[in-house]
Amino acid sequence: MTELFSKIKEVTELAAISGHEGPVRDYLKRQLEPHVDELVTDGLGGIFGIKHSQVAKAPRIMVAAHMDEVGFMVSEIKADGTLRVVEIGGWNPLSVSSQRFTLLTREGQALPLISGSVPTHLTRGSGGNPSLPAISDIIFDGGFSDKVEAESFGIRPGDTIIPESSAILTANGKNVISKAWDNRYGVLMVSELAQALSKETLANQLYLGANVQEEVGLRGAHAATSKFEPEIFLAVDCSPAGDVFGGQGAIGQGTLLRFFDPGHLLLPQMKDFLLTTAEEAGIKYQYYCGKGGTDAGAAHLMSGGVPSTTIGVCARYIHSHQTLYALDDFLEAQAFLQALVKKLDRSTVDLIKNY
């Protein structure tokens, strides 16, 4: 587990919001290159390693994480030197106030920021409880005396703001607390899959890598799927755990069989394939009804229709500075993904596509 935690710490502490995925792309390039036949990027910046097949009519299988995490961009520099922002990806305003962030300038400088909050002292006598703020109204403060000083440090509208957080193990050693498990989970899954299959001869042509800009509308999946035209698409993504809120998705209970979300329905033949493979391989899994979407929702509508699913885990408190998740769930998901990819030959893919 020590080695796995070290890998998680490395990948979750990378700073890369939507549209600015360069650090994660560089990481994936280093991880994939020794284990694939070639590396290819799409026009938006997604990166995929290809393992070519010598099998006639080998099906094209795409395994895709997404590189981006949620964050913010500077929208305005106020006269007093404070900043206002636009959210990149979904944020609950209750998770934003009184947190540390890092602002990255165009020149690559990393500057410390905090998000403001209103001390209780200043709300006394106001005649009521403070209302939930809009993200656009939350003050981001780097301690600059005025706009001129802020600009002298290279700050401009459009600069990116990333949560400042370090990965740690929980006291029982079973779980990790970090930012960005959505979706550095998927990035690490792809990296580990490439290493595990490095010497394997597959009965499919495998495209494994990660898309960009998932958190702002599944944009990278459109570009990658239209470029590579897979016959089966396996998104690899993290979902919110509802266990402590009385809902579905419990950490430590294995990988997810995600049968529904607002943008994607699991096809019967795909569900049969997933269940049969999980049971044959002894995979620990749980059923999951998603409230949000993954890249499978975009991919399944491309190229005339692509049977798709999401190989996922759940984590508590995602889209925040501090997400909590189980190490064992990652291992179950990785074993499941490897078993699925190894089984996807021509006859299996044709069976999944037989409506």
What amino acid positions are annotated as catalytic residues?
Answer: 214
What is the spatial distance between Cα 312 and Cα 5, in angstroms, rounded to a whole number?
Answer: 18
What is the spatial distance between Cα 80 and Cα 209, in angstroms, rounded to a whole number?
Answer: 44
Q: Can you name the residues that pair with 236 across neighbouring β-strands?
A: 311
Count, in order, helices (H) and strands (E) of the chain.
9, 18
Burial (0-12, 13-18, 19+ Cβ within 10 Å), 317: middle
Element holding 161 (H helix, E strand) = strand 160-163
Contact of 198 with 51, CB cutoff 8 Å: no
Pairing of strands 60-66, 232-240: parallel
Burial 339-350 (b: 16+ CB within 10 A, else e): ebbbbbbeebbe
Q: Which amino acid is it at 49?
A: G
Contact of 318 with 182, CB cutoff 8 Å: yes
What is the spatial distance between Cα 49 and Cα 63, in angstroms, rounded to a whole number?
Answer: 10
Tokens 């209302």 belong to residue: 131
Q: Which two tokens stand for residue 60?
A: 């094209």
